[in-house]
Amino acid sequence: MKDKEDKMMPIYTFKMKNRFLILALLVFTASFSQSKKWTLEDCVNHALENNITIQQGELDLQQSELNKSDAIGNFIPSLNGSASHSWNIGLNQNITTGLLESQTTQFSSLGLSSNVIIYGGLKNINQLHKSNLEILASQYKLSNMKDDISLFVANSFLQILFNKEQLKIQKAQFEVAKQDLNRAIELIDAGVIPEGDALELKATLASQEQQIVNIENSILLSKISLAQTLLIDDYQNFDIVDVQYDVPLTDILNESPKRIIEKAKETRYDIKIAETNIELAEYDLKLAKGSFQPTLSGFYGYNTRASYSDRVIGVNRVPDGTNTTIGFVENTGETVVTPNFTSTPIIGGPDSVFDQFSLNDGHSFGFNLRVPIFNGFSVKNNVKRSRINLQRSKIQLAQASLDLETKVYQALNDAKGALKAYEAALKTMESRQQAFDYSKERYNIGLLNSFDYSQSQARYEQAQSEVIRTKYDYIFKLKVLEFYFGIPIMN
C-alpha cells in the first residue's frame, strides 16, 4: 500500500505544479492587463483601427473600387451561354409522319451569345474617369474622418490629464488643510486663537474632501468617455499614462492668417472633397450628354438543337395489286400501265445528341445601331439636373472655402486667447499664493481669523485650478491650430 502511495505522489505533485503554473499565468495576465496604460498614440491608433465610422468609410472605399471594376468591365465584350431542355405532352404533330398524335416529345438546345458596345457616346470612358474620382473622394473622406477622430481622442485624452492634475492639487491642498487644522488646535491650546476658529477649518477640510470625491468621479467619467470612443468595455481597468505636458513653444502664433489659410487649403481634406465633387459633377454632365448620341454595338450568336423523337431512315414500297395507266403505244394503241405501290416509312431511333448538335448548329452576327429620337424629355432633363448639380458643387466649394477661413481665424484667435488666459492665470496664481502665504503668517500669530484664512486658501486653490484648466485648454487649441497648418496631432 505504501509503495502504491509512493508511486502516486509524483503524479499528484505534477498536477499541483501544473495548477500552480496556470494560476500564476492567469494572475500575471490579469495584472498585466490592469497595469497597461495607454499613451495618446496608442489611443489614436486604436481608434483609427476600431472606430465604427472609420470602418464604414473603409467600406465606402471598397465600394468605390468595385465601381471602378464595373467601369473597366464595360469595355469587355459580354459572353453568355444558354441551355434548355423541354417536354411537350399532348396532341402534337409527329415530325416523322406529319400526323397529329397524342405523344410526349423532348427537345434540347444550346446557345452562346456575345455583345460589345463599339460606340456609346463615350459613356464607358467617362464612367471610368468618374469611378477613379470616386475612389479619390472616398479616400479623402476616410482621411477626413480619421483627422476628426484623432482630434476628438486628443481632446478626451487631455481632459483626463486635466482632471488628474486637478486631483493632485486638491489632494495637496487637503494635506495642507489637515496641517492647518493641527496647527490651529495647538494655537487654541496655547490660547492664541479662539476655539471656534477650528470649526471653520474643519468645514474647509470637509469641503476639500468632497471636492476630491467629485474630481475622482470626473476622472472616472472622462476615462469611460474615452474608453467608449475606443470601443473598450473594461472601463474599470482602463487608464492612460500620466504624462506631464509642458506648455509648448511654437512660432505658429506668429504666422499670418493668410499663410495658415493657404496651408490649410493645401492639406485639409474638406476642400479636396469639395473640389473632387465638382469634377464628379462634370463627369455626370458628360454622361448625361452622352445619352443624346447614338449607340453602335456588335453582336454574335451561336445556336444548336437536338430532338429525341424517332426519325425516318427509309421507305418500304410494296405493290398493292393495282395499276395506273400512264399512256398508249402510238402504233398499236396498246395501253401502258405501271403498278401502284404502298409506301411505308421505315422508322429508326434518333441520331445521337452530339451528332445532332453538330449538324443543326448555326451562327448569327451583325451590328445594332440605336439612335435616340424622343424619350419623354428624360435625357434632356437629366442634362439639366446634372448642370444644376455641377453648379451646386461649385457653390459648396465656395462655402467650404469660407468655412475653412472662418475656422482658421477662430482657431488662431482661440489659441491666442487661450495663451493670454493661461499667462493671466499664472500671474493670478502667483498673487494668490503671496496673499495666502501672508494670510497664513498672520493666522499663525493670531492676527487673522479662520474664516478670512479659509477664504484666502480657497482663492489660492481656485487660482491653481484655473492655471491647470487654461494650460490644457491652450494645449488643445494650439493642437487644433497646428492641425489646420498641416502638423500631425501626435507631434
Taking residues 65-69, report their average pLDDT. Answer: 93
Question: Could you tell me which residues come within 8 angstroms of residue 25 by beta carbon, excluding any fewer than 6 positions away?
Answer: none
Handedness of CA 68, 74, 75, 79 (dihedral sign): positive
The values of phi and psi at residue 351, to 5°, are -65, 165
Question: Could you tell me which residues come within 8 angstroms of residue 462 by beta carbon, excluding any fewer than 6 positions away?
Answer: 432
Question: Could you tell me which residues come within 8 angstroms of residue 151 by beta carbon, excluding any fewer than 6 positions away?
Answer: 479, 480, 483, 489
Q: Looking at residue 372, what DSSP letter applies?
A: -
Q: Binning pLDDT at 50, 70 and 90, where does residue 251 land?
A: confident
pLDDT at 35: 59
Q: What is the distance between the alpha carbons of residues 2 and 12, in angstroms, rounded to a whole number? A: 15
Q: Binning pLDDT at 50, 70 and 90, where does residue 178 land?
A: confident
Specify whether the CB–CB gap between 281 and 127 falls below 8 A: no
Nearest in space to 299 (alpha carbons), one of 33, 77, 470, 132: 77
pLDDT at 67: 93
Q: What is the distance between the alpha carbons of residues 160 and 220, in angstroms, rounded to a whole number? A: 9
Specify whether the CB–CB gap between 169 and 465 falls below 8 A: yes
pLDDT at 1: 43
Residue 314 pairs in a beta bridge with 346
Q: What is the distance between the alpha carbons of residues 73 and 124, in angstroms, rounded to a whole number? A: 9
**To which CATH superfamily is domain 40-76+120-160+219-293+376-484 assigned?**
Outer membrane efflux proteins (OEP) (1.20.1600.10)
Q: Looking at residue 77, what DSSP letter applies?
A: P
Burial environment of residue 8 by CB neighbours within 10 A (0 to 12, 13 to 18, 19 or more): exposed
Specify whether the CB–CB gap between 340 and 319 falls below 8 A: yes
Q: What is the distance between the alpha carbons of residues 412 and 258, in angstroms, rounded to a whole number? A: 11
The values of phi and psi at residue 236, to 5°, are -65, -40
Handedness of CA 131, 134, 139, 145 (dihedral sign): negative
pLDDT at 490: 66
- pLDDT tens column, 141-176: 999 999 889 889 988 998 998 899 889 888 888 887
pLDDT at 236: 82
Specify whether the CB–CB gap between 364 and 306 falls below 8 A: no
Per the rule left: phi > 0, alpha: psi between -120 and 50, beta: everything else, 311 is: beta
Helices (H) and strands (E) in the chain, counts: 10, 6
Q: What is the distance between the alpha carbons of residues 194 and 202, in angstroms, rounded to a whole number? A: 14
pLDDT at 17: 45
Taking residues 400-423, report their average pLDDT. Answer: 93
Statement: residue 60 has pLDDT above 90:
yes
In what side-by-side order are the strands of the sheet with 362-370? 78-93, 100-119, 295-307, 362-370
The values of phi and psi at residue 329, to 5°, are -80, 130
Taking residues 360-386, report their average pLDDT. Answer: 90
At 151, the amino acid letter reads L
Q: Binning pLDDT at 50, 70 and 90, where does residue 5 land?
A: very low
The cell for 136 is 479619390
Taking residues 330-340, report their average pLDDT. Answer: 77
Specify whether the CB–CB gap between 279 and 397 falls below 8 A: no
pLDDT at 105: 77
Among 93-102, 117-126, 211-220, 282-291, the range scoring the smallest mean pLDDT is 93-102
Q: Residue holding cell 481669523?
A: 449
Statement: residue 45 has pLDDT above 80:
yes
Question: Could you tell me which residues come within 8 angstroms of residue 296 by beta carbon, excluding any fewer than 6 positions away?
Answer: 117, 118, 119, 120, 367, 368, 369, 370
At 476, the amino acid letter reads F
Nearest in space to 357 (alpha carbons), one of 138, 163, 107, 177: 107
Sequence spans of domains, the chain: 40-76+120-160+219-293+376-484, 81-118+296-309+352-371, 311-348
Q: Please give the mean pLDDT across all residues of the chain.
A: 83
Start-to-end C-alpha separation, the chain: 74
Of 97 and 5, more confident: 97
DSSP string for residues in 214-262: HHHHHHHHHHHHHHHHTT---TTT--B----PPPPP-SGGGS-HHHHHH
Specify whether the CB–CB gap between 447 and 144 falls below 8 A: no
Residue 306 pairs in a beta bridge with 108
Question: Could you tell me which residues come within 8 angstroms of residue 389 by beta carbon, excluding any fewer than 6 positions away?
Answer: 281, 284, 285
Q: Looking at residue 96, what DSSP letter applies?
A: T
